[in-house]
Amino acid sequence: MKKNLAKNLIFVGAIIVYIILCCIQTPITSAVKMNGETAIGSMWSLLPPIIAIGLALITKEVYSSLFLGILSGAIIGSVSFGTGFEGVMSYIVKDGLITNIADSYNVGILIFLVVLGSIVALMNKAGGSRAYGEWAAKHIKTRVGASLATFLLGVLIFVDDYFNCLTVGSVMRPVTDKHKISRSKLAYLIDATAAPVCIIAPISSWAAAVSGTVEGVNGIQLFISTIPYNLYALLTLIMVIFIAVSNVDYGPMRQHEVNAINGDLFTTRNIVYSADDKPSTSKGKVADLIFPVILLIFFCVLGMLYTGGLFSGENIIDAFANCDASYGLSLGSIGSLIVIMIYFMIRGVLKFDECMNSIVSGFKQMVPAILILIFAWTLKSTTNLLGAGEFVKGIVEGATAIQILLPLLLFAVALGLSFATGTSWGTFGILIPIVTGVFSSQLTNAAENGIPPMVVVCISACLAGAVCGDHCSPISDTTIMASTGAQCDHVNHVSTQLPYAMTVAGVSAVGYLIAGFVQNVFVVLGVSIALMFGVLFVLKAVFGNDEKSKPDSAEVKQVSETAAVSETKTAERNSAQQKNVNLKKSKNKKKRK
């Protein structure tokens, strides 16, 4: 209890200190400029996400925390622009919630989310998930095997992070539940193989997003060049494998895993997601899960390629580079949903009305994720309104003179910006043009002489930092999707994942410090991997000695108290039963007399 109180006080103190720094830099005035600035484009621009994230970690309640972050941003914007109370309501409702819900890209993601929830409900109702769980229980016999199988599936689905999170979670939940892996651990495995895998996959929606931010250079060529220097993504994959194989956990995750082994997969009182639909038939087979998943992957990839112009003459790489992921995933998921329903009805495992009921059930399952996403998008738009990008841009441009430390600086700035705004795409969209602008003279002859190594290192640092911040942020789309896929309490996922992500971030920071002096991929990557293994073995030595199933002293005390109470109740019950028996015996004796 004291430990949690200390953490909460630290978070509150950090928010207060940040507000004081904001006041020192640029006081909020009613459209009156102080030192040539207002709150727009100043430190105040990052206060709303800091409030939202801090409150979420303190209160363990994400909806109210996000709303208060939005409210604080609206108040700051209203004071800065002098729009009063009317402006506050407009920034929250009209320019915030309504605008983000009406955005075509966001609507496409929501459609994909709902349709995928319906497909999962169909697979559960048809008995496919249960059959797959029974099959997996026979072939995947250990917790290590279940973790590695989740990791492998996550790596294989590299096309899009949203698609990765929801598909892997839906397929692997029965397996990890069977082997008593906590939902928080499943969410981490999903999240760690979503964005980190997509950012090093040349054929993905992420490659398209990165290549679209670069001008004057072949975007895909530059993206491929950054892969060996993307330290955070590569080291995260190493860490996931190590954690899975060694079965070592630390931080809040360890307690979640202890509880899972003892039967509690959630470690929370908040039941965010309802239980999966029970099968309506005993005819379900493994194919009733595998075939729908293959169909979904095929249709979604086809949909993305279609929106990128594959059927209009573009090659596959260019089609991925030009695709509209939101529209493509919506097309693919709707097409696969129709075919899957027809398949289940032909198989005779579901009737038409059961298919329709599953669509409604799937929508209900996704309501928590939809609410968090809408609030997160609104918070991002509020942050953009306050000019967070311009503020960070000014910081980076002011420090470009120290080119040796530039990779480390870009990594740190990208991490902080992505964490605060919850968007990795928006982060490297801001920072990559700054990097290419700094090295514009060297990029003039890039087609003939190749891309300068320092440019590749700096852009890699931007991408790695953006993914790291996205990986940690409670308001990140991908983090929300990972919680949804695992059906895990969102704040639990964030708090358990944070120590793991920060461990990899620390090693990556050292790697980018080295990269500022030596632009040699073998040296930078080799030293970073060696350091990562060193840190992991130290963690194993510290946290791997005790058996994970062995509870700590607090748990022992709680279990002892519970056992004592149980024994007392049992003794009282036995005593009462004995009295009843004696009473009956005495009555029988009286009757015989």
Phi, psi of 390 (to 5 degrees): -65, -35
| DSSP-based three-state secondary structure for 37 | strand
pLDDT at site 503: 95
pLDDT at site 225: 86
Q: At what angle do helices 490-517 and 252-261 cross, to 10 degrees?
A: 140
The dihedral of CA 402, 403, 404, 406: what is its sign? positive
Cβ-based neighbours of 585, under 8 Å, separated by 6 or more: none
Phi, psi of 270 (to 5 degrees): -85, 105
Return d(Cα 201, Cα 40) in angstroms, integer.
37
Phi, psi of 552 (to 5 degrees): -80, 180
DSSP state of 34: B
Q: From first to last of its 593 residues, what are the pLDDT tens digits of the chain? A: 566 676 677 777 777 777 777 777 655 444 334 444 466 777 788 888 888 888 887 887 888 888 988 998 898 888 878 788 888 898 999 988 999 899 888 888 888 888 888 888 888 888 887 787 778 777 888 899 999 988 988 888 776 677 778 778 878 888 888 888 999 999 999 999 888 888 888 766 677 667 666 666 666 677 888 899 999 999 999 999 999 998 889 999 999 999 999 888 888 755 566 666 666 666 788 888 888 888 888 898 888 889 888 888 887 777 776 778 788 888 988 999 999 999 999 988 888 998 998 888 888 878 887 888 888 888 888 888 888 777 777 777 666 667 788 899 889 988 988 888 888 877 887 788 777 777 766 666 655 566 788 888 988 999 999 999 988 888 888 898 889 888 888 889 999 999 999 999 999 999 999 998 998 889 999 999 999 999 999 999 988 755 444 444 444 334 334 334 434 444 454 455 455 545 554 544 444 44
How many residues can be counted in the chain? 593
Return d(Cα 358, Cα 277) in angstroms, integer.
8
Residue 356: how many other CB atoms lie within 10 Å? 13
CA 97 from centre of chain: 22
Nearest one of 272, 335, 348, 298 to 63, comparing CA atoms: 272
Which CA distances in Å does 147 have to 34, 140, 185? Answer: 55, 10, 9
Give the angle 196-425-77 at the CA atoms, nearest 5°.
135
pLDDT at site 158: 73
Which CA distances in Å does 69 have to 50, 128, 198? Answer: 8, 41, 29
Phi, psi of 34 (to 5 degrees): -120, 125
> If you write DSSP's letter for every residue of 283-347 in order, what string do you get?
---THHHHHHHHHHHHHHHHHHHHHTTGGGT--HHHHHHT--HHHHHHHHHHHHHHHHHHHHHHH
Return d(Cα 211, Cα 295) in angstroms, integer.
29
> If you write DSSP's letter for every residue of 268-297 in order, what string do you get?
SS---SPPPPPPS-S---THHHHHHHHHHH
Return d(Cα 371, Cα 360) in angstroms, integer.
17
pLDDT at site 591: 46
Query: Could you give the count of Cα atoms lying within 13 Å of 382 in the half-sphere of its Cβ?
Result: 40
> If you write DSSP's letter for every residue of 351-393 in order, what string do you get?
-HHHHHHHHHHHHHHTHHHHHHHHHHHHHHHHHHHTTHHHHHH
Per-residue three-class SS string for 472-521: HCCCCHHHHHHHHHHCCCHHHHHHHHHHHHHHHHHHHHHHHHHHHHCCCH
pLDDT at site 204: 66
Question: With the CA atoms of 291, 293, 295 and 301 taken in that order, what torsion angle do they form, in degrees rounded to the nearest 10?
Answer: -150
pLDDT at site 453: 84
Per-residue three-class SS string for 39-82: CCCCHHHHHHHHHHHHHHHHHCCHHHHHHHHHHHHHHHHHHHHC
37 has which bridge partners? 34
391, 397 Cβ separation under 8 angstroms: no
Cβ-based neighbours of 65, under 8 Å, separated by 6 or more: 51, 52, 53, 54, 55, 56, 59, 474
CA 482 from centre of chain: 5
Helix residue spans in 82-182 (DSSP H): 84-89, 99-102, 104-125, 128-139, 143-156, 161-178
- Which stretch of DSSP H or E encloses residue 187? helix 183-192
Chain position carrying tokens 């968007």: 423
pLDDT at site 276: 63
| DSSP-based three-state secondary structure for 439 | coil
| DSSP-based three-state secondary structure for 549 | coil
| DSSP-based three-state secondary structure for 423 | coil
